[in-house]
């Protein structure tokens, strides 16, 4: 430590340092004038120390302290003094001492700040992002970045002991859009040609396997020009990882060990291995989502067989048009009032459902909101299918399959919370596997990859894939890692056979010439001895968000973009000069308003 400015950090001094002469430097959190004594709360990222400016000790320090503004940077020299027992501040790590200043120097006087540097700041997110350098002075933000640092540190320590090599791949590469839009970069030295910023290092890491690197990882920045949400950013960070001569089981086992280390190092929590597993089809059928939150293991039950012969016209209509009747049991949910259930009904309507049916199981029997339309056998069958016990509440939605499932999923946490349901664990990890290899895109009138076109077909479905039969039910060797209802990683075993890769491109509608134009370098490389390989990418922004208890990715990224992909601080994106455009061989065309 440079002793010119400080001998200690602001969170370091304790009672054992009593009567030491020290130097501290930091920001003025607050300063208070109490009857001639001026108290300064001096802060750096390590903590906070109280400084006392007493004119009887130093008139210079006392006089200068009166001119301070909050957030000014100062250097203090003085004597550590132990506080009396009845004046110890137990909220501070330095609360047992204070520093009596013998000199004070203002290193940088602050202008009036636009918001107070407090844990619970009372200002808009736009103001925080505009002045991000001030926002990052707040303790919660610094804690979030420390969590990110610890995650990265643990990742490197763990993988370095597993024979992985950290290899950097290019940021300027070829545009091969297969999903989200690329960010493109014009080339000055190659007129009318463009680089693209990578959506992921997918092809490069597969090329490293072909190169014999065997085990690769990279903490890498990726870019996608897509519409944003709270858990999406146009640039994001992921752990990218690839291994040769492995099966899916090898990849999952390794990642479970890595995640266990992260949870232990960052939060001090032991998680149990192996993680639970579930097929994609089971996840959708039972929980209406491919990323179910298993802290709330309340399944969505298909009630079609209960009502297959019903005379209730609403249910008849839904089943006859291919819809679904789905229900879930809320344990001890009979405590919910009619008003609370009505509010839940309004919420399912917000998500597209036409309404919701409820059923209660009491000591004296069953009551249901549509009881007069159901037979006694249907009412009993409904309660049995939902596995209801006395005091439970059943909620049922009949609609299109996606609407019935999604609307129930959206209200499930609120309904369980109102019923007093407490998760048995705070952290629930789940592998979702056996995803479909393809899905049909009606707008494009062709099949598209559910993950990406380099994913290996499931061995049991390889013949269907080769024969192009029942393609929507061809499974893949792909897997996602889910934590508390958030997808935090996804990967697959890759195609290493050139013929299988060519077939995949053909199914996706790429002619041999188009495949060669987009991916020729990769197809050529596959011909020269490609080992079986697979890997995964973990979203580090999302992991940091969850482990820090934040609700937005923006709170765990040092300098994030808004939901409109703007940087409010540097005011980007922005226009460039005419000279720059000429150098890059660009012109600007203003779109005409779209005519109706």
pLDDT confidence of residue 231 = 65
d(CA 563, CA 221): 18
**Cβ atoms of 455 and 462 closer than 8 Å:** no
Please give the pLDDT value at position 1.
60
pLDDT > 90: percent of the chain = 89
pLDDT tens column, 217-261:
999 999 998 876 656 799 999 999 999 999 999 999 999 999 999
- Tokens 């001094």 -> residue: 13
Confidence check: pLDDT of 595 > 90: no
Strands 47-53 and 97-108 turn out to be parallel
**Average pLDDT along the chain:** 94
CATH of domain 15-108: 2.40.50.140
Residue ranges of the chain assigned to CATH 2.40.50.140: 15-108
CA–centroid distance for 344 within its chain:
27
Number of H helices, E strands in the chain: 16, 22
What is the model's pLDDT at position 3? 77
The CATH 3.30.930.10 domain(s) of the chain lie at: 140-199+214-269+546-579
Query: How far is Cα 259 from Cα 426, in angstroms, rounded to an integer?
Result: 15
pLDDT of residue 523: 95
Contact present, 407 and 353 (Cβ < 8 Å): yes
Binned at pLDDT 50, 70 and 90, residue 533 comes out as very high
Q: Are 182 and 201 in contact (CB under 8 A)?
A: no
Give the chain's largest Cα–Cα span: 93
pLDDT (0 to 100) of residue 442: 85
* Cβ(77)–Cβ(23) below 8 Å: yes
| Contact by Cβ (8 Å): 327, 386 | yes
Q: How many alpha carbons lie under 13 Å from residue 542 in its C-beta half-sphere? A: 20
Residue 399: closest CA among 371, 357, 439, 370: 357
Going by CATH, does the domain composed of 140-199+214-269+546-579 fall within 3.30.930.10? Answer: yes
- Per-residue pLDDT at 432 exceeds 80: yes
**Residue 138 in this model has a pLDDT that exceeds 80:** yes
Question: To the nearest 10°, the Cα dihedral for 8, 13, 19, 25?
Answer: 40
Q: How many whole angstroms separate alpha carbon 159 and alpha carbon 156?
A: 5
Please tell me the predicted confidence (pLDDT) of residue 424. 80
Cβ-contact 437, 453 below 8 angstroms: no
Hey, is 335 helix, strand or coil? helix
Residues 298, 287: Cα–Cα separation, whole Å: 8
Between residues 232 and 360, the one the model is more confident about: 360
What's the length of the chain? 596
pLDDT at 178 over 80: no
Q: Would you say 176 and 197 are in contact if contact means Cβ atoms under 8 Å apart?
A: no
Q: How confident is the model at residue 298 (pLDDT cuts 50, 70, 90)?
A: very high
Cite the residue boundaries of each domain of the chain with CATH code 3.30.1360.30.
Answer: 296-418
Residue 177 is predicted with a pLDDT of 64
Q: Which CATH architecture has domain 296-418?
A: 2-Layer Sandwich (3.30)
Q: Mind listing the pLDDT tens digit for each residue in 551-576?
A: 899 999 999 999 888 999 999 999 99
More confident residue, 49 or 402: 49
Given a cut of 80, is residue 594 above it in pLDDT?
Answer: no
Note the pLDDT of residue 316.
Answer: 95
């Amino acid at each position: 430590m440079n002793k010119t400015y400080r001998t200690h950090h602001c969170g370091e001094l304790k009672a054992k340092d009593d009567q030491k002469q020290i130097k501290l430097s930091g920001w003025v959190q607050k300063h208070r004038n109490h009857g001639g004594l001026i108290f300064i709360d001096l802060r750096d990222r390590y903590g906070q120390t109280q400084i006392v400016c007493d004119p009887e000790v130093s008139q210079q320090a006392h006089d200068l302290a009166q001119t301070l503004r909050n957030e000014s940077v100062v250097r203090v020299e003085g004597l550590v003094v132990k506080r009396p027992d009845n004046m110890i501040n137990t909220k501070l790590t330095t609360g047992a001492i204070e520093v009596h200043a013998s000199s004070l120097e203002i290193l940088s006087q602050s202008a009036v700040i636009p918001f107070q540097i407090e844990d619970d700041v009372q200002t808009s997110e736009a103001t925080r992002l505009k002045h991000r350098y001030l926002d990052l002075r707040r303790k919660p933000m610094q804690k979030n970045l420390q969590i990110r640092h610890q995650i990265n540190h643990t990742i490197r320590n763990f993988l370095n002991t597993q024979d992985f090599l950290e290899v950097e791949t290019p940021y300027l590469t070829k545009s091969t859009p297969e999903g989200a839009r690329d960010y493109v970069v014009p080339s000055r030295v190659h007129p009318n040609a463009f680089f693209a910023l990578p959506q992921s290092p997918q092809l490069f890491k597969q090329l490293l396997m072909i190169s014999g690197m065997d085990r690769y990882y990279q903490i890498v920045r990726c870019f996608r020009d897509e519409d944003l949400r709270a858990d999406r950013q146009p640039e994001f960070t992921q752990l990218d990882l690839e291994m040769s001569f492995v099966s899916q089981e090898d990849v999952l086992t390794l990642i479970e060990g890595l995640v266990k280390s992260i949870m232990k190092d960052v939060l001090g929590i032991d998680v149990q291995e192996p993680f639970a597993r579930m097929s994609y089809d089971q996840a959708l059928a039972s929980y209406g989502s491919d990323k179910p939150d298993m802290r709330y293991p309340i399944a969505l039950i298909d009630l079609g067989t209960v009502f297959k012969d019903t005379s209730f016209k609403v249910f008849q209509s839904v089943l006859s048009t291919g819809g679904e009747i789905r229900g879930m049991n809320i344990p001890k949910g009979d405590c919910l009032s009619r008003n609370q259930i009505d509010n839940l009904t309004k919420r399912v309507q917000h998500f597209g459902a036409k309404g919701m049916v409820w059923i209660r199981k009491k000591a004296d029997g069953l009551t249901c909101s549509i009881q007069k339309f159901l037979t006694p056998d249907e009412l009993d069958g409904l309660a049995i299918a939902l596995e209801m016990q006395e005091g439970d509440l059943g909620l049922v939605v009949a609609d299109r399959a996606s609407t019935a499932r999604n609307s129930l999923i959206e209200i499930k946490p609120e309904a369980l919370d109102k019923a007093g349901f407490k998760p048995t664990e705070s952290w629930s990890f789940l592998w979702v596997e056996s995803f479909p290899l393809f899905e049909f895109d009606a707008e494009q009138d062709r099949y598209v990859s559910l993950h990406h076109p380099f994913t290996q077909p499931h061995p049991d479905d390889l013949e269907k894939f080769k024969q192009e039969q029942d393609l929507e039910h061809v499974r893949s060797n792909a897997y996602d890692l889910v934590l508390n209802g958030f997808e935090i990683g996804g990967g697959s075993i890759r195609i290493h056979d050139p013929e299988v890769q060519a077939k995949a491109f053909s199914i996706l509608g790429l002619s041999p010439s188009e495949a060669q134009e987009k991916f020729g370098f990769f197809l050529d490389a596959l011909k020269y001895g490609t080992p079986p390989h697979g890997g995964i990418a973990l979203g580090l922004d999302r992991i940091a968000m969850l482990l820090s208890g934040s609700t937005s990715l923006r709170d765990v990224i040092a300098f994030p973009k808004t939901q409109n992909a703007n940087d409010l601080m540097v005011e980007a994106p922005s226009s460039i000069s005419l000279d720059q455009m000429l150098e890059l061989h660009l012109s600007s065309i203003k779109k005409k308003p779209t005519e109706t």
